[in-house]
Amino acid sequence: MSVCKYPESICPHMTVVKGKSYCGATPCQLTGELPKRTNAGKIRDMKDEELAEIIMCPFDTEPTVCNKDGCIQCCLEWLQRPAED
């Protein structure tokens, strides 16, 4: 969903969440515009391998912990581990 710039009374595809208007129609049914992609949206769409290339080593504060040949492989393994809550 993208942030909608039109009031709820104009756009029938709008949903309001915590005071912000979101539209489920792509492209916009009123203007035909495609929503602008956010950096967060781009990150959500990335594959683990792409994320591993741009994220710093998760162990960068403890250099002796990382014994991998490359930080990308180390980061990829970290991304694919179950999350700790």
Q: Which of 40, 7, 37, 12 is nearest to 25 (CA)?
A: 12
The structure tokens 């969440």 sit at: 17
* Most confident stretch, 21-25, 33-37, 53-57, 78-82: 78-82
Q: What's the CA gap between 52 and 55, in Å, rounded?
A: 5
- Whether the model clears a pTM of 0.85, i.e. scores above it, the answer is no
Beta strands in 4-47 (DSSP E): 14-17, 20-23
Q: What's the CA gap between 56 and 71, in Å, rounded?
A: 8
pLDDT at res. 54: 73
Q: Is the peptide bond before 27 cis (omega within 30 degrees of 0)?
A: yes
Strand order in the sheet with 20-23: 2-3, 20-23, 14-17
